[in-house]
Structure formats: structure tokens, C-alpha cells
């Protein structure tokens, strides 16, 4: 299965005693916005089941979205759920009980008929959840996992994804309904220095996808709109390759570049969580 990326918008939720505001994972938000006095109630799923997952000979791992706003999660840890609910990467999450990295859960949830998501019709189950679905996932984590967290913003290293000095080698997507994806030439994650490829992926989504490999935020500064297919074969085949060098070389091959910079880096600090009771 292709290793999927996720969307760009981060929903700035401060749990039960906080307020809800919106910002990006790398730009942060003002102290005034984060300390707003009004409490915004997050939308909730109408029906949701949470069960401990069992490892099987063929275990499917992923979050899947279906028409009508239904979400199915298979073999996810709490921290994986937080990544999708808050649209952050694993290296942005700190703290939490030991089991938050180990215990696995299956979840199925449906929104109420009054929800805008009830009208969603994702063309592919691997499409990421929309903003409202992410908020409903936050509500589920607060209710079922007793999750409490806070956000910390610090200055740290980032990369800017920009146009390079060479001609762009990006093509219009062959299938605009296909799963937005970017990874290794072989079709999965970037696991060798052979190059990178992408299909039906926007530049903001590519930037976030790359941030997972580089361990720091990547901010789209290309100014390119729409989604693209691309492929760059470097000719290298080294299992011990340097991931940063390999990605930068591959991006240069399609007319893009990574520029080191400094920016606001958001961290999600888990203050409390409990294992949910099985449905």
C-alpha cells in the first residue's frame, strides 16, 4: 500500500478548557487567538465504535474516508490518531503514556445527518479527512481516550519548497480522482536513493509529505496551483543513502529545491490520556 500524505490545514484545538482557532503547523498563531475566552464546541460523530485491534496475517493499517462522511480506521495507535485529528506529524507529538505508541485500535464512525460531511463523496478511500471530520476525530479522542493536550510553539529549522533554476518537469495528473501520493520510485515510501515520484499531488501536500521524511516542517513557497504527476530517477541504488541529500537531488531533477530556513515549529504535548473501554 502506498504510504499516504495528508492535508495542510491544522485545526488549532485547545481541549476542554481552551478555544478553537486555525493556523498552519509551521506558522503558529497569536497568543491572543490561543487564549480567546469563548469556548467553541467541536462537532461530533453521531455513531462511533472504538475497539482494540488484533494483529492478523493480513493486517491493514490506515485511515479511510467513504461517501456520507464515514471514517474507518484500522490498526492505529493513539499517536497516529492524533496525527490525523490535528493534522501534524509524529515528530511534532511529545509526551503521553507508554501505550500511546503501542496499543492499536480499530474505529468506525459516522457523522450526523446535519453534518456537511454527510454530503462528502471522496473519489478514493485513501483521501484524507476533511476539516470537519478532523474536528469530529478530536471530539472522539477527548471523549473516548480522555485526551488532554496543549500546544507549544518554538523557533526551529524548516525547509522552504521553492522553484529551482531548472525547467519544471511536472505534468498534469493522469487521473484527478486517484489518491494524492508521493514517495519512492518503487511505489512505496522513499527507502532507497533511487529518486522520487508523485501522482495527483499538490505542492502544499508534497511539502507536508516531505516533512515526514526530513523530520522538520517543509513550507510550500512554489506558488504552483493544482495537482501534478512527476518522476525523477537519480540512478542511485543505495540502501544506506542520506535521505536529505537524496530528496534534494531528486527535487532538483523536477525543477524544485529545498532552502533551509528558520520558522515556527508547533509541538503537541500530551498531558493526559486513558485507554478507552471497548464497545
For residue 58, pLDDT over 90 is answered with no
pLDDT, position 8: 29
Supply φ then ψ for residue 165, to 5 degrees: -90, -10
3-state secondary structure of 253: helix
For residue 123, pLDDT over 50 is answered with yes
pLDDT band at 188 (very low <50, low <70, confident <90, very high): confident
213 in Cβ contact with 159 (< 8 Å): no
Q: Which residue has the higher pLDDT, 70 or 2?
A: 70
Q: Is the pTM of this model over 0.75?
A: no
> CB neighbours (10 Å) of residue 187?
12
pLDDT, position 232: 93
For residue 33, pLDDT over 80 is answered with no
- What CA–CA distance (Å, rounded) separates 64 from 107? 10
Q: What percent of the chain has pLDDT over 90?
A: 64
The residue-averaged pLDDT of 161-177 equals 94
Read off the pLDDT of residues 232-261 as tens digits, 9 standing for 90 and up.
988 777 767 888 988 999 999 999 999 999
The residue-averaged pLDDT of 130-155 equals 96
Tally the C-alpha atoms within 13 A of residue 188's C-alpha that lie toward its C-beta: 3
For residue 200, pLDDT over 70 is answered with yes
- What CA–CA distance (Å, rounded) separates 43 from 46? 9
Q: What is the mean pLDDT of the chain?
A: 85
Maximum CA extent, the chain: 56
Supply φ then ψ for residue 255, to 5 degrees: 85, 20
Amino acid at each position: 500500500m502506498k504510504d499516504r500524505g495528508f492535508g495542510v490545514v491544522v485545526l488549532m484545538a485547545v481541549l476542554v478548557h481552551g478555544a478553537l482557532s486555525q493556523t498552519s503547523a509551521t506558522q503558529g498563531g497569536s497568543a491572543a487567538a490561543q487564549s480567546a475566552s469563548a469556548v467553541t464546541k467541536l462537532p461530533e460523530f453521531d455513531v462511533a465504535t472504538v475497539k482494540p485491534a488484533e494483529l492478523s496475517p493480513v493486517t491493514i493499517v490506515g485511515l479511510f474516508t467513504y461517501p456520507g462522511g464515514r471514517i474507518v480506521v484500522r490498526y492505529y495507535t493513539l499517536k497516529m490518531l492524533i496525527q490525523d485529528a490535528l493534522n501534524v506529524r509524529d515528530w511534532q507529538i511529545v509526551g503521553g503514556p507508554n501505550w500511546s505508541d503501542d496499543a492499536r485500535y480499530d474505529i468506525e464512525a459516522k457523522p450526523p445527518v446535519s453534518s456537511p460531511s454527510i454530503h462528502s463523496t471522496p473519489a478514493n478511500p485513501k483521501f484524507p479527512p476533511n476539516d470537519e471530520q478532523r474536528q469530529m476525530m478530536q471530539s472522539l479522542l477527548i471523549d473516548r481516550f480522555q485526551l488532554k493536550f496543549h500546544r507549544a510553539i518554538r523557533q526551529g529549522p524548516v525547509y522552504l519548497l521553492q522553484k529551482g533554476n531548472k525547467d519544471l518537469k511536472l505534468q498534469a495528473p493522469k487521473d484527478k480522482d486517484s489518491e494524492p501520493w508521493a514517495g519512492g520510485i518503487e511505489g512505496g515510501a522513499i527507502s532507497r536513493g533511487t529518486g522520487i515520484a508523485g501522482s495527483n499531488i499538490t505542492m502544499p501536500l508534497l511539502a507536508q509529505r516531505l516533512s515526514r521524511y526530513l523530520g522538520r516542517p517543509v513550507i510550500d513557497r512554489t506558488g504552483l496551483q493544482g495537482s501534478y504527476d512527476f518522476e525523477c530517477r537519480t540512478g542511485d541504488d543505495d540502501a544506506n543513502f542520506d535521505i536529505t541529500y537524496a530528496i534534494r537531488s531528486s527535487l532538483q531533477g523536477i525543477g524544485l529545491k529545498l532552502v533551509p530556513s528558520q520558522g515556527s515549529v508547533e509541538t503537541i504535548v500530551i498531558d493526559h490520556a486513558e485507554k478507552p473501554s471497548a464497545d
